[in-house]
Amino acid sequence: MTDPNDDLPPPSWRQRPKPVGFEIAYTLDGEVLEVDRTRAVDRVRLSAVEEVRFFFAPGNISSKGYKTRLRLSDGKTITFGNLSWRSLTDLDRDDARYHRFVTALSAAIARANPRARFVGGRPRPLWIATAIVGVLSLAMLAFFTLSAFQRGMNGAGLLGLLLLAASYWQVWPMISLNRPRELATGEVPDALVPGRGA
């Protein structure tokens, strides 16, 4: 009896990570991840993956960027995200396909190397530094805004409020979503890998 899944194509993900450059294709082939960079094809054994990290990584023209990073036993890393450049000013998002691929990849890594570490967010020192800078920046903007209103400079105060709201909208997700946390082996956090159920 044949398995109906035999006719399905293997899980894959394609991304153009930079505005200028080639598209990279990632294909799951059993216990191997094939990385096709157009000019070269690498085959990475999933048993060599020591750490899987999911994090929030907004870009210059999108605040909805997320990435997955694999750290291998030889120290090399493989990083890919949910955003793909179409042109110098246009991005493509296919969160549902991204989530399906990352889920299949994570399950395959957990099977190939049950000792692989799954983590969410940025490394703790980097996250602490980002949080300190972010909070200090918001505090300085709040002080500027309050001082402007106290001196009767309502235009400057309103501008300060606008900047404070925009900064909070950008800074808070970087702090809250990238909080360092340990995950269960094979776990894919929906907050850092969008597209589940889409």
pLDDT tens digits, 11-42: 999 999 888 888 999 999 999 999 999 889 99
Topology classification of domain 4-121: PH-domain like (2.30.29)
Q: What is the pLDDT of residues 122-161, one digit of tens each?
A: 999 999 999 999 999 989 989 989 998 888 898 888 888 8
What is the three-state SS of 111-168?
Answer: HHCCCCEEEECCCHHHHHHHHHHHHHHHHHHHHHHHHHHHCCCHHHHHHHHHHHHHHH
Confidence of residue 61 (pLDDT cuts 50, 70, 90): low
| pLDDT value of residue 64 | 84
| pLDDT value of residue 18 | 84
Return the closest-CA partner of residue 28 out of 76, 80, 74, 93: 80
For the chain, domain boundaries: 4-121, 124-174
Residue 168 has pLDDT above 60, yes or no: yes
